[in-house]
């Protein structure tokens, strides 16, 4: 079994979650991790995989947009990505297919202002389902204490165990006859 994990991250928290999910998945699955801004992650260039995992930060109740990314750059007090492509542009570029395969989505969000509605993971899932993907599990959220992070205590462990649960769900789901 193979999985590709694609992520967007402005301050590094979603990238850390993506890598933790990949560590969990690697227990039985070959995993490639790519930034959505990397040319190797272009939907046409992606290696074939049994599972796609896609995630990134929640901005303004959904996936980032150029304006919210510019806002993130302005607010930054430390390192920040100056990416030109985010998760929204990436999922919208995925070609439609009758059975694109299995997908799982995640996001990072702040706990401080909980309960804020809206989740990039749910937004990405909606677009990918429309493109023909089947959800392996419901969208997952991981929490940061403030806009730039850090991740709340235990979130990386939770991400790793979510990755392990994806690997466990993948074996039976991947071999099921397609309808």
**Nearest residue to 14 via CA among 56, 54, 53, 52:** 56
Count interface residues toward ligand FMN (CB under 6 A): 23
The half-sphere exposure of 75 on its side-chain side, counting CA atoms within 13 A, is 12
CB atoms within 10 A of CB 40: 11
Q: Which of 3, 5, 9, 102 binds ligand FMN (CB under 6 A)?
A: 9
Window 139-168: contact mask with ligand FMN (x via CB under 6 A): -----x--x-x-------------------
The b/e string for 72-98 (b: 16+ C-beta within 10 A; e otherwise) is beeeeeeebbebebbbbbbbeebeeee
Q: What's the min distance (Å) between Cβ of 25 and ligand FMN?
A: 19
Q: What's the min distance (Å) between Cβ of 159 and ligand FMN?
A: 12
**Nearest residue to 15 via CA among 137, 119, 154, 149:** 149
CB atoms within 10 A of CB 113: 9
**Nearest residue to 166 via CA among 145, 135, 126, 143:** 135
Q: Which of 20, 108, 163, 167 binds ligand FMN (CB under 6 A)?
A: 108
* Residue with smaller CB distance to ligand FMN, 56 or 167: 56
Q: Near ligand FMN by CB under 6 A, which window of 12-20, 30-38, 93-101, 166-174?
A: 12-20
Q: Which of residues 19-78 bind ligand FMN (CB under 6 A)?
A: 57-61, 68, 71-72, 75
- Site residues (CB under 6 A) for ligand FMN? 9-14, 57-61, 68, 71-72, 75, 108-110, 116, 118, 144, 147, 149
């Amino acid at each position: 079994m193979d999985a590709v994990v694609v992520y967007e991250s402005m301050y590094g928290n979603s990238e850390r979650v993506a890598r933790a999910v990949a560590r969990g998945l690697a227990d039985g699955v070959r995993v490639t991790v790519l930034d959505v801004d990397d040319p190797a992650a272009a939907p046409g260039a992606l290696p074939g995989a049994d599972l796609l995992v896609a995630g990134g930060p929640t901005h303004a109740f959904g996936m980032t947009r150029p304006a919210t990314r510019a806002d993130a750059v302005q607010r930054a007090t430390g390192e920040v990505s100056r990416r030109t492509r985010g998760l929204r542009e990436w999922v919208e570029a995925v070609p439609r297919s009758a059975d694109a395969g299995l997908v799982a989505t995640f996001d990072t969000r702040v706990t401080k202002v909980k309960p804020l509605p809206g989740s990039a993971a749910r937004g990405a899932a909606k677009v990918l389902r429309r493109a023909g993907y089947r959800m392996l599990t419901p969208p997952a959220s991981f929490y940061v204490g403030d806009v730039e992070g850090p991740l709340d205590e235990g979130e990386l462990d939770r991400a790793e165990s979510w990755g392990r649960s994806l690997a466990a769900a993948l074996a039976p789901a991947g071999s099921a006859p397609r309808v």
